[in-house]
Structure 1
Amino acid sequence: MRRRTALGLLLASLLPLPRVARAQTVWRPSKPVTLLVPFPPGGATDLCARALQPGLQAALGQNVVVDNRPGATGVIGTRTVAGMPGDGHVLLVNASGTMTIQPVIMQSPGFDPEKDFKPIILAMSAPNVIVVHPSVPATNVAELRAWMARQGDTLSFSSSGIGSSEQLGLELFLLRTGLRAVHVPFAGGAAAITAVIQNTVPLSMVNSGTAAPQITSGQLRMVAVAGPRRLSWAPEVPTMAEQGLPNLTSLSWTGLFAPASTPEPIAEALHDAVAATLRQPEVVERLERIRFVAEGGSRADLGKLVSGDLVRWRGVVRDARIAVN
């Protein structure tokens, strides 16, 4: 009898535990969560954080506050989060330029985007686009290339600044096509767009969201989309890939990151909370208003995006001989 009882206990111990007993407790914050934005209020990255704020509060069961820490094109705020403890109570809401271009064009940015941070989720994206003055006889990439080839060394293009995603995106276009043009940097995207409208320079690569009003009004003509899909508000304009230039991508995106020391269960809980928030119709609508697309995906997806952008922009900076600060 004892042997049977012992055998029964042994067999019972080998049976799978009930699902409830095996389930791990989902991490929840013990105090308010801060979304640190390394830019001033009112920009796209800040608006993204504020769009996520109400849904995250509900998902996490804690107050969520937006903390703007601008300076040095986002570098100061980014460094701040890199040195914080990974307890899940501070998330960096950062733009692609700071995470994947500043580390390439700065000799000492003070942070490593791959080693100092744990990717949480891609929040939103908007492709850069090539635009021209309406007098330029080009409505597609083939016509633009033919026209540019006829201009010789007199051609110039504008961007929002040295080392901007717009400059690097057009430099990549020039490298891939074998064309030449002189870069004319301006102080911000609005000034770069105005330069094309006034025909001070004939073309530029600009953020699609920033230039949307001028494109829809006819002040600028959009020739190509440097993204994986066409724009919902301009579906007639093909992507670079559709026009014979595959893998020519220049995206402006915003992602959420935690300090590298953040434990996996906390990172997963934060990912799930933000992912659920990004699926809410009101969040999608708020991001669409600023011409960005709500994204999502896995943590690994964001990690691959960061790594891929770093490789791409390092190559462009090297091959186009862009000065590193």
Structure 2
Amino acid sequence: MQRRTALALLSAALLPAAAGARAQGAWRPSKPVTLLVPFPPGGATDLCARALQPGLQAALGQNVIVENRPGATGVLGTRAVAAMPGDGHVMLVNASGTMTIQPVVMQQPGFDPVRDFKPVVLAMSAPNVIVVHPSVPARDVAELKAWMAAQGDRLSFSSSGIGSSEQLGMELFLLRTGLKAVHVPYAGGAAAITAVMQNTVPLSMVNSGTAAPQIASGQLRMVAVAGARRLSWAPEVATMAEQGLPDLLSLSWTGVFVPAATPDPVADALHAALATTLRQPEVVERFERIRFVVEGGSRAELETLVAGDLARWRGVVRDAGIAVN
């Protein structure tokens, strides 16, 4: 009896301590946290990291530093994070092209997006869109297909470079429709857009955010959105799925990842902090300024997105006969 009473008293004494431990909740960083961006300052991925920085600092209770480590279309910085310890103090803020296209079009990228990383959260996205020069008599996919078929083998399309999401997205469109066009790579998205504006090439698939000013001014005409939903700033333009091409997705997105060795409780804590940050109105506004949409969602959803993109682009590279470098 005395033993049971003593145990009861001991348990009661420990309850506040246990409750305190639970109240402290998830893992917290013990030093400043780095958001590593494998691109130069000023691009969409860098802007994403800098928009997340203030809210993430508040949520984690530690300074958050944005570090740019550019090179080889994001590959150098990505490799660097893959080799880092998984202690939660370095996160990779990366673009879809580096995570799901470079591993497909490069023979030795030096990292595996599935083996070397754990997903934390999908931060933002913007679909690619098909645009044409205003002289092209097409306002939707059906009209574009008819016009392209009438041109025979004389057509060409621009992209921001060999192996870019714009090239692979357009190659996917050609595969699904049975149409033909020659790829003309340019040095970046702005040059690819200019080529269509000048009618050097009649059409392209481009990032919707990058081309938004030219679309709004009428210098380009958008005929289809290669995303799951219509654009809020151009709701009159239907998606590929709405126009009879349900599996034609080409999305530019930015996600946050940690090294694969990171324990799940640490990745979960970082996800919770980022999810809170993504809900802040100032973050939504900063993303909207560059025509990206705040995403969020679970870690598992980002994992599924990465796997789906890898499978899609591997199929396009194989079926379109794109040379792997």
The TM-score with structure 2 as length reference comes to 0.95
- Partner residue of 1:252? 252
1:161-211 CA distance string (max 9 Å, x none) = 000000000000000011111000000000000000010100000000000
1:299-323 CA distance string (max 9 Å, x none) = 0000000000000000000000000
Partner SS state of residue 135, structure 2: coil
Q: How far is 1:26 from its partner?
A: 1.5
- Partner residue of 2:27? 27
How large is the Cα RMSD of the aligned pairs? 1.7
| 1:73-88 map, 5 Å | 73-88=73-88
Structure 2 residue 119 is the aligned partner of structure 1 residue 119: yes
Alpha-carbon separation, structure 2, partners of 1:247 and 1:8: 66
- Partner residue of 1:159? 159
Ranges in structure 2 where 5+ consecutive residues have no aligned partner: none
Alpha-carbon separation, structure 2, partners of 1:50 and 1:285: 13
| 1:87-106 map, 5 Å | 87-106=87-106
Alpha-carbon separation, structure 1, partners of 2:217 and 2:270: 41
Counterpart code for 1:67: E
Shift >4 Å, 4+ stretches? 5-10
1:29-66 CA distance string (max 9 Å, x none) = 11110000000000000000000000000000111010
1:122-151 CA distance string (max 9 Å, x none) = 000000000000000100000000000111
Q: How far is 1:100 from its partner?
A: 0.2
Percent of paired sites with the same residue: 82
The TM-score with structure 1 as length reference comes to 0.95
| 1:175-214 map, 5 Å | 175-214=175-214
- Partner residue of 2:168? 168
Q: How far is 1:8 from its partner?
A: 11
Counterpart code for 1:124: M
1:91-124 CA distance string (max 9 Å, x none) = 0000000000000000000000000001000000
| 1:257-276 map, 5 Å | 257-276=257-276
Partner SS state of residue 248, structure 2: coil
- Partner residue of 1:306? 306
- Partner residue of 1:147? 147
Partner SS state of residue 73, structure 1: coil
Q: How far is 1:25 from its partner?
A: 3.4
Counterpart code for 2:133: H
Structure 2 residue 293 is the aligned partner of structure 1 residue 290: no
Alpha-carbon separation, structure 2, partners of 1:274 and 1:134: 41
Q: How far is 1:7 from its partner?
A: 11
Ranges in structure 1 where 5+ consecutive residues have no aligned partner: none
Alpha-carbon separation, structure 2, partners of 1:78 and 1:22: 35
- Partner residue of 1:129? 129
